[in-house]
Amino acid sequence: MALHKTPPNSRGYYVKMKLLHKHGRPHHQQEKNCFYKYYKWLLWLSLSLYFFTSYLISNNNHAKQPSHHQTTHASRTLIESNNTAPSQSLHSLGSSSLKNLKVFVYDLPPKYNTDWLSNERCSKHLFASEVAIHRALLTSEFRTFDPYEADFFFVPVYVSCNFSTVNGFPAIGHARSLIASAVNLLSSEYPFWNRSRGSDHVFVASHDFGSCFHTLEDVAVADGVPEIMRNSIVLQTFGVVYDHPCQKVEHVVIPPYVSPESVQDTMDNSPVNGRRDIWVFFRGKMELHPKNVSGRFYSKKVRTMIWRKFNGDRRFYLQRHRFSGYQSEIARSVFCLCPLGLVESVALGCVPVVIADGIRLPFLSAVKWSEISITVAERDVGRLAEILERVAATNLSTIQRKLWDPATRRALLFNSQVLRALSEKLDRSYRGSRVSRQLDFDTLLMVTWFMVMTWQELIGGICGLEKKN
């Protein structure tokens, strides 16, 4: 039977192993075990930090998303803004104040816009904002010719230029089909509509009931906002502070269009600080009976009530027929009843009197309407003379002084706040949200890396102390 030989140095090997068992492993192995001992805490903290920061970032981005159904409830007193910064013209708004905003203007075939200009009223009437905004953007410093650097995309479709031969008002029955055709063209030839589902695309709906595209409210409500526009931004002259089917879209309330040149001509010929021999002024459609020929109630009976109550009152200058020189009448008036002539009243120094419950006036962040206008509840229209007499006896001079502030008039001549309003909606921009997401991700990685390196330094210090001990 073969005997196993014991290696000559086996005893020494045995003694070495006993010493290791008694006194520990070599120095480098000891440091490795120390680091391993605390590394699981490093891993746990790093993962916790990563997921916690991810949650905060995603939650913050979610909170920034606009709510299409958010409703602002307010009393009959107009909402007062804390923003007192004077407005500027479309071309003088500095790029720094608008965060380098860029707008791409689609070059659509003329059948969607310029062909309608054959009727000169198209660019001059109260609903001509669609034309004026388009023209202003074409020469604006905020326009970009590179769609990939654009924050917003303006879709120039004129829908208020088709005038009815019966009453002379815009006939917008073709609006839905015309807009649908334009969107179909854009989505087939460009990638930008499809990538954001139109959320960074801007339309103008400068007529009654805005993006519902009908002049009769019950029909507009029944039809609702066209499906293709429900994710887009609509610049519209219709705005209320309560929930309304025609506001189921991201919208910016803009004033009706008034030609700056016509207002300036009137101011030159009839200075706003001149004699005002008309106490209360209104010129416009006023039905003798609350129901018109279609059997519908017009203006919720308000104009009919005013006519019946005050037509014989010499203090009230009420005119039911058109007159091209009506701005000169505004410049002579103390109070102006304002269904549409709000902008002209402000520019020409006539105190606007708003009789429309729940109306939302344009550019609340730039114009302190509560300081320059009078709001009368519809139920109090019969007391209109009494209310205005009380204003004239108390704070009329204060209202007029604020009304004559040039900054107030500039805020409304013409739509100077449109781009500023858009800059507040950059979270809807595909480009802006992509940059934001990248910055958030980069921040997350940087914070996580910093914490890992910090904990590694800390563990190294702890292991160093254990080594000394």
- Give pLDDT, residue 34: 61
> Which positions ≥6 away from 437 have C-beta within 8 Å?
61
Nearest to 272 by CA among 330, 198, 227: 330
| One domain, residues 113 and 217 | yes
Determine the Cα–Cα distance for residues 26 and 451; give it in Å rounded to an integer: 31
| One domain, residues 250 and 318 | no
| One domain, residues 238 and 374 | no
| One domain, residues 238 and 341 | no
Instruction: Give the confidence band of 62 by pLDDT, cuts at 50, 70, 90.
Output: very low
Q: Are 140 and 95 in contact (CB under 8 A)?
A: no
Answer whether residue 6 is part of any domain. no
| One domain, residues 215 and 272 | no
- Give pLDDT, residue 344: 85
| One domain, residues 235 and 298 | no
Both ends of the chain: CA-CA distance in Å? 53
- Please say if the pLDDT value at position 463 is more than 60: yes
Element (H, E) at 337: strand 333-337
- Give pLDDT, residue 6: 46
Domain CATH number, residue 266: 3.40.50
Instruction: Give the confidence band of 460 by pLDDT, cuts at 50, 70, 90.
Output: low
Query: What's the mean per-residue pLDDT of the chain?
Result: 77
Bigger pLDDT: 63 vs 147: 147
Q: What is the mean pLDDT of residues 231-259?
A: 91
Q: Where are the alpha helices (DSSP H) in 320-383?
A: 326-330, 342-347, 369-372
Answer whether residue 468 is part of any domain. no
Angle (deg, nearest 10), helices 396-403 and 384-394 = 80
Q: Are 334 and 275 in contact (CB under 8 A)?
A: no
Please state the pTM of the whole predicted model.
0.70
Token digits for 107?
Answer: 């070059």
Residue 67, amino acid: S
| One domain, residues 358 and 421 | no
Residue 419, amino acid: L
Number of domains into which the chain is organized:
3
Token digits for 150?
Answer: 């654009």
Domain that holds residue 395: 259-410
- Give pLDDT, residue 199: 95
- The Cα-based distances of 92 to 45, 97, 133, 175 in angstroms read 51, 11, 15, 33
Q: Token match 């039905």: residue?
A: 287
| One domain, residues 364 and 454 | no
Best-predicted range by mean pLDDT (30-34, 322-326, 371-375): 371-375
Collapsing DSSP states into helix, strand and coil, what is residue 164? coil
- Please say if the pLDDT value at position 365 is more than 70: yes
- Give pLDDT, residue 18: 43
- Please say if the pLDDT value at position 273 is more than 60: yes
Answer whether residue 264 is part of any domain. yes
| One domain, residues 154 and 216 | yes
| One domain, residues 246 and 108 | yes
Bigger pLDDT: 415 vs 82: 415
- Please say if the pLDDT value at position 413 is more than 70: no
Answer whether residue 305 is part of any domain. yes
Backbone angles phi, psi at 47, to 5 degrees: -65, -40
| One domain, residues 267 and 226 | no
